[in-house]
Chain A
Amino acid sequence: RKEVEQDPGPFNVPEGATVAFNCTYSNSASQSFFWYRQDCRKEPKLLMSVYSSGNEDGRFTAQLNRASQYISLLIRDSKLSDSATYLCVVDMNYGGSQGNLIFGKGTKLSVKP
Chain B
Amino acid sequence: EPEVTQTPSHQVTQMGQEVILRCVPISNHLYFYWYRQILGQKVEFLVSFYNNEISEKSEIFDDQFSVERPDGSNFTLKIRSTKLEDSAMYFCASSDQGAAETQYFGPGTRLLVL
Contact A97 B106 (CB under 8 A): no
Binds A, one of B12-20, B48-56, B65-73, B76-84: B48-56
What is the chain A residue whose CB lies nearest that of B92? A43
Contact A98 B48 (CB under 8 A): yes
Say if the beta carbon of B43 comes within 8 Å of chain A: yes
Contact B56 A100 (CB under 8 A): yes
Count how many chain A residues have C-beta atoms less than 8 Å from C-beta atoms of the other chain: 26
Given contacts A43-B107, A103-B42, contact A31 B33 (CB under 8 A): no
Contacts of A27 in B (CB 8 A): none
Chain A binding surface, main DSSP class = loop
Say if the beta carbon of B95 comes within 8 Å of chain A: yes
Contact A105 B107 (CB under 8 A): no
Query: Which residues of A are in contact with B by a Cβ distance under 8 Å?
Result: 31-32, 34, 38, 41-46, 49, 87, 91-93, 96-106
Query: Which residues of B are in contact with A by a Cβ distance under 8 Å?
Result: 31, 33, 35, 41-45, 48, 50, 55-56, 58, 89, 91, 95, 98-108
Q: A34-B102, A93-B99 are known contacts; what are 6 more A-B pairs with Cβ within 8 Å?
A: A43-B107, A45-B105, A92-B45, A97-B56, A99-B100, A101-B35
